[in-house]
Chain A
Amino acid sequence: MIATPTPTVALVGNPNTGKTTLFNALAGMNQRVGNYPGVTVETKKGRLKHCDTAIDIIDLPGTYSLAPRSPDEMLTVNLLLGHDTAEPAPDAVITILDASNLERNLYLMTQVIELGRPVVVALNMMDVALSQGLKIDVAKLSQRLGVPIVPIQANKGIGLDPLKAAVLQAILDHQPAAGPTFSEAFEREITRLREVLTSSEPNYLLRRLLLDVGGHTEKTLTKKHGATLANAVASARQRLIASGQVLAGIEARVRYAWIRQAIAGCIERPAVRPVSMSDRLDRILTHRFWGTTIFLSVMFLLFVAIFQIASPAKWVLDLGRAQLAEWIVSALDPGPLRSLLIDGVIKGVGAVVVFLPQIMLLFAIIAFLEDCGYMARAAFLMDRLMARAGLNGKSFIPLLSSIACAVPGIMAARVIENTRDRLATILVAPLMSCSARLPVYSLLTVALLPAEAFGGLIHPLVMFCLYLLGLILAPLIALILKSTLLRGETPVFVMEMPLYKMPSFWTIWRRSWESGWMFLRRAGTFIFATMVLVWAALYFPTRDFEQRIAVFEIEMEGKENDKKKPYEEKINELQAEWKQQSILGQAGKWIEPVVRPLGWDWRIGVAALASFPAREVMVGTMGILFAQGEGDIEEDEYRNDMNSAIRDAHWPGEPDRKLFTIPVALSVMVFFALCCQCVSTLAAIRRETNSWGWPIFTFVYMTVLAYVGAFITYQVGSLF
């Protein structure tokens, strides 16, 4: 009898075992992502069919052990136990094992067995095992382990039907297997612990409670059952240590001893391990010279690829945007609807879509690097450097990508398993100088700094310093975060170096497509909503500006090209006045005392406020506020107009006092280098941390940092 109408099966396994490939092969296109509050990992759910029976399948995050150390890892254990979650425990568990690395893979399986669910083993990578000269007697192994074993080749879809049949059979039989047993002394302590509980807990968690010193089970259970349990655990551990046991080793010794005994006689090994292609490749790719050279080349290509794809994508988008806007202008009369469509909706959609090519390309590259096994080598090469910032080798790619754009960079931080390292990486990624800061930098440097200064090198020099600012501050802030907010034991950096293999096209495509879709769905709405809000804040109150501008526009249309200039100027003036009186403009005037110490007037303040959706918006807003209209800064004429407008700008009511002095320009640039005026970044952080707290924290700390940086720049600069 099947207990539930649609039985559920969970898929667990070590990383690098082909687990995702198997899940995709089983569930096909039929999958969705499940999110749980308080955790950052995702579990995928899918449905598979076998002989008219449907089975729900849950893909759990890859792990080497079920000893939970974080809420993320606790979720996996709780899902498997059907404990503390809305869903019941799965009816069976598929454990995928790498046949070429059986002993270590079996460690996790012995833990899974202990959870009391029927287990089916999917033995993957038999071909790799064979190529290494390993011969596995599957039938004998199955008998020894007490679980059904189905040899599969996930990447070729071999063995899926027998696997599904075995799963159904296991659910029907409902025969939990027996794994290794702990010593009598240990089990006695478990019995004692059970007596002080206020309510019953699964046996597995009680074992974890005793074994994982400072682990997540200890934290949740002692909170739930109070000090009596905490004391009981402490004295139980004392007794075990007094009897000569090392707590950290109890579990591993029991399990590995059991595994060795179980597989004895089931595996035939060659007397001498053959040197594989993978070994030879590893020699080169981790070599002091060749390894570093190849690494730098790969990173350079990755960087150029995501940096370069941004501009054609933006070009196509701008073209589409201009076409659409033209069409709307011809179809609709001036008014809130037309403005909302052109300046709110189209810009909002554009702001979301513009990230897609970068995100999809970066994830395709990451999937490629992970799938072929190079990612672990890259982390291996970079670990020493990143460790100085309290991070680990896997933080390198997310931070590097952030120099092109923080949004894909933040998403790329998924490759970091350790939660605190991942969070620290996400929080400092927006400090890396991204490409959206370039328009702001170039507008101000070109307008204000004489090109011939410093032997003609002043512009690149300023640019370099601004990039350097991020490169220095990001690791510094990471270090501070890691020793304050994200303090905790130093994460253990033990990382498997998987075998090199041919990456699968489908895995890469799927990862790329999924990350793009995820961004659109989860972050897109947030970005879009903010764009519309900022539009409204700049649009209302309309008074009669819109009508007056329309009148001039109509008049201008009838004139010849050389007579249009005065009308354009009039329109630009009206636009500037309108923005001044808008909600955001008034807010800017209101905050002027706050930005004065930075050397800014209210217009710069408004431009900074209005750039909340994205930093480059600042340039357009400046154009409107300085009565030049919103044009294309790439265009020579508009750029020249903007440059002279900025050079000639003076303080309101003080015609002799220039607004943009060099200290002011530097202060603005430093502010934009350090602030988080980018709603997409915040949306990405919100999505990746599954919380509102972290994006708010990032915004606050970066804004404070930017303010202090700009303040120091202006004040120190004014001394000269």
Chain B
Amino acid sequence: MGFPHPSNMPTMTLDQVQKNQSARIEGFIGDDVVLQRLMEMGLLEDEVIEVIGFAPLGDPMEIRLRDYCLSLRRSEAARVRVVILP
């Protein structure tokens, strides 16, 4: 489903990114309305995302992309494959 996932790349999803880390979107897992919604909000391949933080109860998380801040649940963020930027 979705994008091919080369086995030599370290698997990392957006929900695993730490606070204050930046990451670049590599691809997505699946093909459904959740992804459609995320993509409408501007989460697309090659976009750089900064994780601002997590809610006190650990979920949801807040990210910055394309000049604005967005909150999403970790279960949704887990659908986004990323590479951490230094």
Contact = CB atoms under 8 A, between A and B. Distances in A.
A496 B31 contact: no
Contacts of A287: 56
Contacts of B39: 248-249, 251-253
A185 B10 CA distance: 34
Given A249-B44, A252-B44, A380 B69 contact: no
A83 interface: no
Contacts of A494: 37-38, 41, 70-72, 76
Q: Give the residue among A214, A241, A493 with the most B Cβ atoms within 10 A.
A: A493
Interface string B36-52: 11111110100000001
B60 A286 contact: no
Contact of B62 (A107, A380, A393): A380
Interface string B56-71: 1111101000111111
Contact of B40 (A67, A215, A393, A497): A67
A489 B34 CA distance: 9
A292 B56 contact: yes
A286 B33 CA distance: 28
Contacts of A256: 42, 44
Nearest to A253: B44
B78 to A, nearest CB: 13
B76 A492 contact: yes
Interface in A178-225: 211-215
A618 B34 CA distance: 49
B35 interface: yes
A569 to B, nearest CB: 60
B66 A101 contact: yes
Nearest to B41: A494
A252 B40 contact: yes
A215 B40 CA distance: 15
Contacts of A249: 28, 31, 35-36, 39, 44
Given A253-B44, A492-B34, A291 B56 contact: yes
Given A249-B44, A380-B55, A497 B70 contact: yes
Contacts of A246: 2-3, 28, 31, 35
A104 B41 contact: yes
**Majority secondary structure of chain A interface residues (helix, strand, loop or mixed):** helix
Interface stretch (A382-390, A427-435, A456-464, A596-604): A382-390
Interface in A477-494: 489, 492-494
A253 B39 CA distance: 8
B52 to A, nearest CB: 7
A303 interface: no
A248 B3 CA distance: 12
A495 B71 contact: yes
A65 B39 CA distance: 11
B56 A497 contact: no
A251 B41 CA distance: 12
A531 B39 CA distance: 52
Given A380-B60, A384-B57, A282 B69 contact: yes
Given A246-B28, A494-B37, A104 B56 contact: no
A247 interface: yes
A104 B44 CA distance: 12
Category for how many chain A residues contact B: 35 or more
Given A252-B39, A288-B56, A384-B59, A493 B2 contact: no
B62 A492 contact: no
A103 interface: yes
B71 A101 contact: no
Contact of B32 (A101, A103, A248, A282): A248
B69 A212 contact: no
A253 B40 CA distance: 9
B5 interface: no
A240 to B, nearest CB: 11
A247 B30 CA distance: 10
B32 A213 contact: yes
A493 B73 contact: yes
B48 to A, nearest CB: 12
B33 A213 contact: yes
Contact of B70 (A65, A102, A212, A496): A496
A65 B40 contact: yes
A510 interface: no
Contacts of B71: 376, 380, 383, 493-497
Contacts of A694: none
A385 B57 contact: yes
Contacts of A107: 40, 42
A65 B36 CA distance: 10
Interface string A385-417: 101000001000000000000000000000000
Contacts of A383: 55, 59-60, 71, 73
Nearest to A100: B67
Nearest to B42: A104
Contact of A101 (B28, B35, B36, B68): B68
Nearest to A290: B56
B38 to A, nearest CB: 6
Contact of B56 (A381, A493, A495, A496): A381
A577 B57 CA distance: 59
B77 to A, nearest CB: 10
11 contacts: A64-B41, A69-B33, A101-B66, A104-B41, A214-B33, A248-B30, A252-B44, A286-B55, A387-B59, A387-B73, A492-B34
Interface of B: 2-3, 28, 30-42, 44, 52-53, 55-60, 62, 66-73, 76
Closest 9 A-B residue pairs measured CB to CB? A252-B39, A384-B57, A497-B69, A248-B35, A248-B36, A492-B37, A101-B68, A288-B56, A65-B40
